[in-house]
Structure 1
Amino acid sequence: MNVSRNSDSMGIIYFAWHGKAQEKAEIKGRLRADWRRFAEKVLDEDNVSGLNGVSRLWMRDDLFVCFALPQERLDRQEERLLEIGNDLQLDWEPRFMNAAFGGHVPELRLHAGVSFLDGGIASEEERLYDGIKRAIVHGQSTDAAERSLKRRALDHILEERLIQPVYQPIMAIQPDMEALFGYEALSRLPGSRWFDGPLGLFNFANEEGLTYALDRLAREKAIEGCAGLANGRKLFINITAKIMNDPTFSPGQTLLLLQKYGLSPHHVVFEITERTSIEDFDAAKRILQHYRNQGYQIAIDDAGAGYSSLQSIVELQPDFIKIDRSLIRGIHLDRMKGHLVQTFADLAAKMDIKLIAEGIEEVEELKYIRALGVQYAQGFLLGRPAPYIV
């Protein structure tokens, strides 16, 4: 591989097959027989991503492709290199499997890792060796290029504060109650290529150890958009049980932000999602009591969807229980769902807890839960999420 041409702006992509399927003799033999021929043909015919100065190096069955990158800002070059590696991995893996095996092979993956050739290393041989080594390290995990691109996108979202809040109304549904009770703040991520909606974004942030930062941003954006919240109406903000361990999750910081927008803790209800477990109830109760002392209220979200709903309710004694939409959907047609929600209603009444039914989409569902004594509801039938409050 000759890398002398414009080597200060050159990248390497490392390709190697991984997976238990290679332990099978027929798979291993076909890889050795067909993989190099396939890759060489594709490189010759496809003119990789239209780039110039493409060269290649084989180390047994591992391929290293080196090419010149356009003269751009360093961050754009890094992104371009990752995108090329990701696109080629996504393209080559199924194409080769179809050509060599007639379809997908379980437990066989094409890994791709990328690196720059370091222009600060004087020797061309040392520069190439260093670039190869870093590309191999980067490509050890599955979908390494895609993960790197997702991390860049997540960092950009955090730096530029790109979360956009929307607000879904929560309505009082009993005859003697005011119609509009409050709003649940939901996060939206407009125009994202790398995340399958907010849930995908938050799941990835959790994997990258950035749950606290993303949750804090979502909370701040939700409050910023509620400057016109009427007195007495509530703003429901989602948090996970894990967030309670965040050393920066301070009621004092949130209080300052609320005051900036003319709000107080009495406007805010923290929704603790029931889809994540609470491992230490004693610690959680101490933390939540601290927030309650400031004037905040607490809701258990997704009740009925997790595995410890009743324990969470008994231990934390929330102000609100939000019944998951999986129990509400078609409740008028399902006796078991009706019995379960009735159980929640009976328990809530004895503990002086208010109920909120989520996911109301049909008039019959609304009528049924109203008859059970549920006080509040939200769902498309009652109002869709909007980027503003009224």
Structure 2
Amino acid sequence: MMISPSVNRTPILLDGINVYTSNHLDCEFTNLSVLYIDVVDFSEFEQVHGYGASNHVLEVLSDTLHELISESACPWTNVQALRIWDDGFTILLPQVVLSAEHIRNIHEFVHRTQDIVNARVSFVGYTSLRLRYGLSSALSIDEQRPGERLYQLITLAGRNARRGSGTKPLFLIEELERLIESKNISSYYQPIIHLETMTPFGWEGLSRGPMGSDLEHPRVLFDCAEQLGYLLDVERICRNQSIRQSKVGPGDKLFINLSPKILSEPTFRQGETLKVIEEVGLDPKQIVFEITEHHAIDDYPSFLKVVKHYRDQGYQIAIDDVGAGYSGLVTLMQVKPDFVKVDMELVRGIENDSTKQDIVRAINYISSGFAGKVIAEGIETPDELACIQQCGVHYGQGFLLGRPKSAVGEEI
């Protein structure tokens, strides 16, 4: 990939090549992604080992990257590694769409680079280096002139590397793959209480990774699975485990968390969940797919078709975390879910906040228009419970009403 400037503007230095923010370049940046790699805590490494040792490490890293690329050991063709910004390296990838397979290939490539560098560098007091990386693609930035687009791509990829957005520590991919192979997921069940009778109406199935591991916390587990392209695999394990290990009664509901994109996956629509439900003697009407909408729904018409598909099979739908993030009035109006779960941040301290009370009353009023049952999440104090009831909410969930327990009674 040849880059040749023709207009004198502020340059950025890439492996000794000056790239100017000009629209007169000999390459096309429309179909392009950028992989940025640098060394974790490199400034601290330099303070401990000095400039000479640090420079030697960067030379080894540079040589390793170029060798792997020249030997076609990386999973792409027609790529170029460029040195930029101190300990940072950029690889230009001639593709825009970063699929799950591409992301896994990137993990493996960076991990292999890290292992080779650590094997080649050795001196007294040497501490093994850890690499981190960030990704960006031309689809993630606004239209700019070619040179400016390249600069934006590199800047964004570098920023993602530094803040860990879109990447995870390299060892997590191995830990996640072991988890998927062993299906080492623990299932817990938290009661959803009818506040008039104070009896369980249903149970929310919750999942955790291996105890004591980096993937134990569910947010880390699912965030990592999504970024590495394993979300479908992990959600399938959690969903099937929750159904098989549940002890719900004949009239109880089992709430199962799903992300919106999973609903539209072809393999999810082949009836695997129905087979598991029938296997344990449950009825589809007992299953509530709880949509955890942490991302905006980009295509509501298509999403609504998928929701209808599952409703026609007897399943019910809940929208989780209403009042936080993207979950809001638009989703309620479009989906008209059977259950509306009010985000716990609206419940926390609600007895002392009239605005929160007004919002909860509004959610309850809107939901009543399409016969949606409202569930207040995260109730932890008697005052919160009393205020929630005063706001007209008939169902609740939280530590005050019952902590999550495993099928054998162990609490989280």
TM-score normalised by the chain length of structure 1:
0.66
Q: Tell me which structure has the larger Cα radius of gyration.
A: 1
The reply to whether residue 147 of structure 1 matches residue 169 of structure 2 is: yes
Separation in 2, partners of 1:113, 1:213:
27
> Partner residue of 2:217?
197
Separation in 2, partners of 1:237, 1:223:
9
Amino acid at match of 2:50: D
Q: Is the 8 Å Cα contact of residues 229 and 389 (structure 1) preserved in structure 2? A: no
Separation in 2, partners of 1:358, 1:389:
24
The reply to whether residue 319 of structure 1 matches residue 341 of structure 2 is: no
Of 145, 159, 181, 2:181 maps to 159
The reply to whether residue 208 of structure 1 matches residue 208 of structure 2 is: no
Structure 1 vs Structure 2 CA RMSD: 3.5
Deviation at 1:37, TM superposition (A): 5.0
Deviation at 1:162, TM superposition (A): 0.5
Percent of aligned pairs sharing the same letter: 35
Q: Is the 8 Å Cα contact of residues 251 and 291 (structure 1) preserved in structure 2? A: no
Separation in 1, partners of 2:300, 2:339:
18
Provide Cα deviations, 1:20-68, integer angstroms capped at 9, x if missing partner: x99xxxx8xx88x9233589xxxxxxxxxxxxxxxxxx4775479xxxx
Q: In structure 2, do the counterparts of structure 1 residues 318 and 140 end up closer, same or farther at CA, with 3 Å as the change threshold?
A: closer
Q: Is the 8 Å Cα contact of residues 38 and 131 (structure 2) preserved in structure 1? A: no
Q: In structure 2, do the counterparts of structure 1 residues 178 and 360 end up closer, same or farther at CA, with 3 Å as the change threshold?
A: closer
Separation in 2, partners of 1:182, 1:190:
26
Separation in 2, partners of 1:179, 1:389:
20
Q: Is the 8 Å Cα contact of residues 321 and 356 (structure 1) preserved in structure 2? A: yes
Separation in 2, partners of 1:60, 1:156:
32
Separation in 2, partners of 1:181, 1:258:
19
Separation in 2, partners of 1:272, 1:115:
43
Of 35, 43, 54, 2:51 maps to 35
Q: Is the 8 Å Cα contact of residues 234 and 268 (structure 1) preserved in structure 2? A: yes
The reply to whether residue 330 of structure 1 matches residue 349 of structure 2 is: yes
Partner of 1:184, secondary structure, is strand
> Partner residue of 2:114?
113
Separation in 1, partners of 2:57, 2:347:
59
Partner of 1:351, secondary structure, is coil
Separation in 2, partners of 1:357, 1:339:
14
Gaps in structure 1 of 5+ consecutive residues: 1-16, 40-57, 65-105, 118-126, 129-137
> Partner residue of 2:243?
223
Q: Is the 8 Å Cα contact of residues 60 and 117 (structure 2) preserved in structure 1? A: no
Amino acid at match of 2:320: D
Partner of 1:270, secondary structure, is strand
> Partner residue of 2:190?
168
Q: State how many pairs are aligned.
A: 287
The reply to whether residue 181 of structure 1 matches residue 201 of structure 2 is: yes
TM-score normalised by the chain length of structure 2:
0.63
Amino acid at match of 1:190: P
Deviation at 1:155, TM superposition (A): 0.5
Separation in 1, partners of 2:86, 2:259:
34
Amino acid at match of 1:326: E
Separation in 2, partners of 1:282, 1:377:
31
Separation in 1, partners of 2:57, 2:387:
68
Q: In structure 2, do the counterparts of structure 1 residues 108 and 368 end up closer, same or farther at CA, with 3 Å as the change threshold?
A: farther
The reply to whether residue 244 of structure 1 matches residue 260 of structure 2 is: no
Q: Is the 8 Å Cα contact of residues 185 and 222 (structure 1) preserved in structure 2? A: yes
Q: Is the 8 Å Cα contact of residues 322 and 358 (structure 1) preserved in structure 2? A: yes
> Partner residue of 1:12?
none
Deviation at 1:196, TM superposition (A): 6.0
Deviation at 1:274, TM superposition (A): 2.8
Q: In structure 2, do the counterparts of structure 1 residues 140 and 271 end up closer, same or farther at CA, with 3 Å as the change threshold?
A: closer
Separation in 2, partners of 1:60, 1:324:
47
Q: 318-327 vs 183-192, which deviates more? A: 183-192
Aligned pairs (5 A) from 1:41-190: 58=56, 61-62=59-60, 113-115=114-116, 141=133, 147-174=169-196, 177=197, 179-190=199-210
Separation in 2, partners of 1:217, 1:371:
39
Separation in 1, partners of 2:292, 2:233:
17
Q: In structure 2, do the counterparts of structure 1 residues 36 and 239 end up closer, same or farther at CA, with 3 Å as the change threshold?
A: same
Q: In structure 2, do the counterparts of structure 1 residues 109 and 256 end up closer, same or farther at CA, with 3 Å as the change threshold?
A: same
Deviation at 1:365, TM superposition (A): 0.7
Amino acid at match of 2:217: G
Q: Is the 8 Å Cα contact of residues 274 and 305 (structure 1) preserved in structure 2? A: no
Amino acid at match of 1:152: E
Deviation at 1:351, TM superposition (A): 1.8
Amino acid at match of 1:350: G
Amino acid at match of 1:151: I
Partner of 1:248, secondary structure, is helix
> Partner residue of 2:300?
281
Deviation at 1:284, TM superposition (A): 1.1
Separation in 1, partners of 2:211, 2:383:
36
If each structure's helix is expressed as a fraction of its own residues, which one has the higher value? 1
Amino acid at match of 1:240: S
